[in-house]
Amino acid sequence: MRASTLVWRSLVHYRWTNAAVFVGAAVACAVLVGALSVGDSVRHSLRQITLSRLGEVDLALVAPDRFFRAELAGEISADLSADAAALILADGVVSAPNAQTRVNRVQVAGIDEGFWNVGGRFPVVNLADGHAAVNSQLAERLKVAAGDTIVVRVQPFSALPVEAPFSVGSSSGAAIRLQVVAVLSSDRFGDFSLRANQVAPMTVFVPREVLAGHMGVGGLANTLLLGDALRTPVDKDAAADSLKRHLQARDVGFTVRALQDDRLGGDGSGRLELSSRRIFIEEVVVDAATAAVPAGREILAYFVNEIRSGELRTPYSVVAAPGEPVVPGRMRDDEIIVNEWLAADLDLRVEEMVDMSYYVLSETGRLVERSSPRSSESKLPLSRQTAMLSISSASWVSLYIP
C-alpha cells in the first residue's frame, strides 16, 4: 500500500477526531488574536486618556513632601525657551454648603497663568482671589454650577505627615471659602492629572498664592511643569542641567547660614551651618556635604520628655551631641554635660546620676518611651548652652562646616 493511500484512509477513519482538533486550534487562535487586539486597544485608550490629561506638558517635577521656590519655573523657562508653570498639588476635601454634600480625596491644584500656557491648546481661565474652577466630575458630585460657593479644606504643610508619630499637625485642615466661576470639561483641561488612572480625577483649581497662604508656604510650589505650545519637545537632559544650575538649598528644605558666635568653641568666624526643618537630614545629603568639606561636623539634637534626679524633674529638654570641643572626647557613653540652669533646677552635682526619658519609634511605627541613666560630668556656662538650645529649636539636625 502506498503511503498516500495510508494517510488518506487514516484521515477518513479519524475524521471526527481530526475535525475536533482543527476546531479547537481555530478557537484558540481566535482567542489569542482577539486578546492581543483588545490589549493593544486598551493600551492605546490609556495612552490617549493620559495624553489628553497632560495637554502639552512634556516634563514634570513633583515633590509631594517638599516645596521649592515658585521662581524656579521662570528660571528654567528662560534657559530652555519653553513654557513652565509652578503648581501646588495637594489632596483635600471639598464641600458644597448649599447642597450639603462633601467629596473626599479631591485633587486641589494651585495654579497661575503659566498653567494654561503649558496646557497649550486650552482656553485660559482667570482666577482671582476668592474664585475657583471645578472640573465636570466634581461639579456633578457636588451638584454645583458657576456662581455657587464651595469650601475647600487642605492640610497646612508640615515636614511630617499628620499621621506620623512625631507630627503635631491638625487633622481638620484650613478651610477656604470660594466662588465657582467655571466648570471645566475635559476639552478645557479640566481632567488635568499626573496620575496614571483610568478614572477621571475630581479637581478644584484655585489661585496658587491663595492656596499657598492657607498652607503656610507662600511663594513656594511642589510641582513644576515644562512644555512647549509649538510642540517642540523639551529635552530632558537640558532640563536636568538647568535644574542643577538654579537649584538652591532652600528648594530642597535646607538653610545655609554663617555663624558669627562661639557656640561651637572659638570665635565661630568662617563657619557655615547647614540645617533642615525636617527631623533628620537625609544620609545622602550628609555624605555629599562632608565629602565637599571633610572638616565638617555632624550635630544631632533630640527632644526628650524629661530629665530626672531623685524626686526633681525637668520636663521637655533638648539634648544635643555637638562633638568636640563642647563635648570632650574623653567622655564615656553614660556621661552628659549639663548647663547651669539645669544643674540648679535639679540640684545636681558632678558625678550624680540623672535619668532621661525619651521616645523612640518601634518597628510597628508606635512611639515607645525609654529611659537611660546618665552621670553629670560637668557644667557648661549658661550662655553657651543657651546658644546651643537656640540652634536646636530651629532644626533637629545641623551640619557645621568650618
Per-domain boundaries in the chain: 54-248, 253-401
Q: Rounded to an integer, what distance in angstroms lies between the CA atom of residue 132 and that of residue 109?
A: 10
For residue 46, what are the CA distances in angstroms to 32, 61, 142, 336?
21, 22, 27, 61
Cell digits of residue 222: 511642589
β-strands 254-259, 203-207 pairing: unpaired
Which residue matches cell numbers 551631641? 321
Query: The pTM is what?
Result: 0.69
DSSP assignment string, 291-346:
HH-TT-EEEEEEEEEEEEETTEEEEEEEEEE--TTTS-TT--TTEEEEEHHHHHHH
pLDDT of residue 46: 66
- The three cell numbers of residue 36 are 492581543
- CB distance 224 to 82 below 8 Å: no
Residue 95 to residue 337: CA distance in whole angstroms:
54
Nearest to 228 by CA among 67, 60, 56, 54: 56
| Collapsed DSSP state (helix, strand, coil) of residue 387 | helix
Task: Give kind and range of the element (H or E) at residue 251.
Answer: none
**CA contacts within 13 A on the Cβ side of 136:** 9
Paired with 59 in beta bridges are 226
- Compute how many other C-beta atoms are within 10 angstroms of the C-beta atom of residue 269: 11
pLDDT of residue 56: 84
Q: What is the pLDDT of residue 261?
A: 57
Angle at 43 between CA 39 and CA 48, to 5 degrees: 145
Task: Specify the DSSP element, H or E, that contains 253.
Answer: none
**Residue-level pLDDT at 278:** 72
pLDDT in tens, the chain (402 residues): 577 777 677 767 777 887 788 888 888 887 777 766 665 566 656 666 767 788 888 899 998 778 999 999 999 999 998 899 999 999 999 999 876 788 999 999 999 988 988 887 678 888 999 999 999 999 999 999 999 999 999 988 765 544 454 554 445 567 899 999 999 988 888 889 888 777 888 999 999 999 999 998 899 999 999 987 666 788 899 999 999 999 988 888 888 887 765 555 555 456 778 888 776 788 888 888 888 888 777 888 888 888 888 888 888 888 888 777 777 777 777 788 888 888 888 888 887 888 888 888 777 767 788 887 665 555 544 333 333 333 333 333 334 333
> How far apart are the C-alpha atoms of 183 and 227, rounded to whole Å?
24
Dihedral angle of Cα 116, 120, 123, 128, to the nearest 10 degrees? 10
DSSP bridge pairs for 190: none
| 231 contacts: CB under 8 Å, gap ≥ 6 | 56, 120
The grid cell for 368 is 515607645
- What pLDDT is recorded for position 220? 93
d(CA 340, CA 226): 56
Burial class (CB in 10 A: 0-12, 13-18, 19+), 225: buried
Q: Report helix, strand or coil for 398.
A: strand
CA gap 254, 248 in Å, rounded: 9
Amino acid at position 270, single letter: G
Q: Specify the 3-state DSSP secondary structure of 4.
A: helix
The predicted pLDDT at position 172 comes to: 57
List of residues 6+ apart from 359 with CB closer than 8 A? 165, 166, 305, 367, 368, 369, 370
